[in-house]
Amino acid sequence: MSRIPKAKTDEVVDDMIDGLFSADPSRQLEYATKFNAFLSSHEENLPFDEIEVSVFVARFVEFWKKNDNTELQYAAASVLINMSKRNTKALIDHGAVPIFVHLLRFFTGYLELQATWALGNVASASTQSRDDVLKCGALIPLLAQLHVNNHIMMLRMAAWTLSTFCCGQPRPPIHQEMKPALAVLEQVLHFNDKEVLSHACRAVYYLFDGSRETFQSFFDAGLVLRLVQLLGYGSPSVIYLAIRTIRNLTNVDDQQTQLVINCGALRFLANLLTRNHRINIKRVACSTISNITAGTKELIQVRSF
For 127-136, the pLDDT digits (tens) are: 999 999 999 9
| Helix, strand, or coil (residue 233) | coil
Residue 300's pLDDT is 57
Do 227 and 204 meet the contact criterion of CB atoms below 8 Å apart? yes
Residue 296's pLDDT is 60
Residue 301's pLDDT is 58
CA distance 133 to 174: 16
Do 200 and 235 meet the contact criterion of CB atoms below 8 Å apart? no
Q: How far is CA 61 from CA 74, 90, 101, 242, in A?
A: 11, 11, 14, 41
Residues of the chain where predicted confidence (pLDDT) is lower than 50 = 1-7, 305
CA distance 207 to 245: 10
Residue 6's pLDDT is 45
Residue 13's pLDDT is 83
In sequence order, what are the residues at sequence separation of 6 or more whose Cβ sits closer than 8 angstroms to the Cβ of residue 187?
A: 146, 147
Residue 11's pLDDT is 83
Residue 262's pLDDT is 96
Q: What predicted TM-score, i.e. pTM, was given to this entire model?
A: 0.91
